[in-house]
Amino acid sequence: MRDKLKAIIEKHAHLAEQMADPEIYNDQRKLTSIAKEHRSMTEIVTVGKEYISVLDQITDDKEALESGDEDLKEIARGELNELEEQQAKLEEKLKILLLPNDPNDDKNLILEIRAGTGGEEAALFAADLYRVYMRYAERNDWVFKVMNSNDTGIGGMKEVIVSMKGDRAYGMLKYESGVHRVQRVPKTETSGRVHTSAATVAVLPEAEDVDIEVNSADLKIDTYRASGAGGQHVNKTESAIRITHIPTGLVVTCQDESSQHKNRAAALKVLKSRLLAAEQEKAAAERAEERKSLVSTGDRSAKIRTYNFPQGRVTDHRINFTTYRLQEILDGNITEIIEQLKIAEQQELLAAATK
């Protein structure tokens, strides 16, 4: 482990030197990429340096025990137990930090929320989930933009697609893909009966040009007049875009931008992200034959979470985690759930690595 850590520390220092290189400093795209990699290594470098220092102290104390100096031996014996406890704790931490990272974790993301079973109540719940993720983005200082939306007119959402840009955005929200279920008395219910409705969430890593190539001959692009609750271009110009990817049948629409050109660029970004996600899900399904993951992000048809309003309870079914902080979660405070899912995934990976 020492040799592996030394190599990581050396690479981290080399990246710092590259960032100071005038040629790289003037290439903003390359500088951003190097800075992101450098930042991602900071924690393991900090822990790694501490671990190596502890190992060196243990070596020094063991050598002191072999010396003829009794005072030195006594000091060494006093330090060794504490140092060996530190070593064990740091090794456990390093095992997790050295686990292979998902290369998509540092990417921006495309978030898609759609009303499922439950009619108007499902659309209202989809709007609630939209607010959860917007508040979470605000808490993390992410930049987000609605790319397409289909409102019901009474506060609900049949569908909304949002782009989010921020530090490790996909890595934080990737566990949210799946079916979210709500149990509550709908606003339209007069008898006070609790209904169960659902909405689906898809979190896609934003595809870059280097990730996936789309042949323009495979695309059918239509324009139409935007529709919705408002906007200066609504029903005036054919600014809305519908792109169909002929080989797969995937269809993407975008109408929330101010011009046809912007809507086309936004729709193409969503299409590429969906195609990339489809490729990755296929690979994940193949891996799943070897290892079943509790917190897998591959199966978006799986019911992952229930929001029970009468009990003020939220339960994540993948890890049997329950919290009674429903209102805080609806305000975007979902950090605790995400952290629990991360821990569960790390434990799975550690278990797989030791088999």
Q: What is the pLDDT of residues 10-60, one digit of tens each?
A: 999 999 999 988 888 888 878 888 888 898 889 999 999 999 999 999 999
Task: Give how many domains the chain has, as a whole number.
Answer: 2
Q: Which residues does 176 contact at the CB level (< 8 Å), separation at least 6?
A: 133, 201, 203, 304
Asked, for residue 355, whether it belongs to a domain, the answer is no
The Cα–Cα gap between 136 and 182 comes to 19
Q: Are residues 127 and 264 in the same domain?
A: yes
Task: Give the C-alpha distances (Å, rounded to integers) separating 197 from 9, 112, 306, 311.
Answer: 51, 18, 10, 16
For residues 127 and 31, state if they share a domain: no
Instruction: Pick the last residue of a domain from 97, 130, 148.
Output: 97
> How far is it, in rounded angstroms, from Cα 41 to Cα 106?
12
Asked if residues 336 and 214 have their Cβ atoms less than 8 Å apart, the reply is no
Residue at 89: amino acid letter: K
Single out the residue of 88, 80, 96, 97 nearest to residue 44, CA to CA: 97
194 and 173 part of one domain: yes
Together in a domain, 139 and 219: yes
Residue from 226, 215, 275 nearest 250 by CA:
275
What is the three-class DSSP state of 254?
strand
Say if residues 148 and 255 touch (Cβ distance below 8 Å). Answer: yes
Q: Residue 30 maps to which CATH number?
A: 1.20.58
Same domain, 149 and 249: yes
Q: DSSP for 50-73?
A: HHHHHHHHHHHHHHHHTSS-HHHH
Q: Which pLDDT value is given to residue 291?
A: 41
Helices (H), 152-230: 169-173
> Is there a domain that residue 103 lies in?
no
Contact 196, 182 (CB under 8 A): yes
Domain end call among 49, 68, 97:
97
Count Cα neighbours of 286 within 13 Å in the Cβ-side half-sphere: 5
219 and 266, same domain (yes or no): yes
pLDDT the model gives residue 324: 97
Structural domain range at position 149:
109-289+297-349
Q: Which residues of the chain have pLDDT under 70?
A: 188, 209-211, 227-237, 283-301, 354-355
Q: What is the pTM of this model?
A: 0.71
Nearest in space to 252 (alpha carbons), one of 240, 234, 270 = 270
| Cα–Cα distance, 130 to 142 (Å, whole number) | 15
Same domain as 185, residue 317: yes
Per-residue pLDDT tens for 158-171?
999 999 999 889 99
Residues 221 and 93 placed together within one structural domain of the fold? no
Q: Are residues 144 and 91 in the same domain?
A: no
In this structure, what CATH number is given to the domain that contains residue 242? 3.30.70.1660
C-alpha 120: how far from chain center? 29
Residue 319, domain member (yes or no): yes
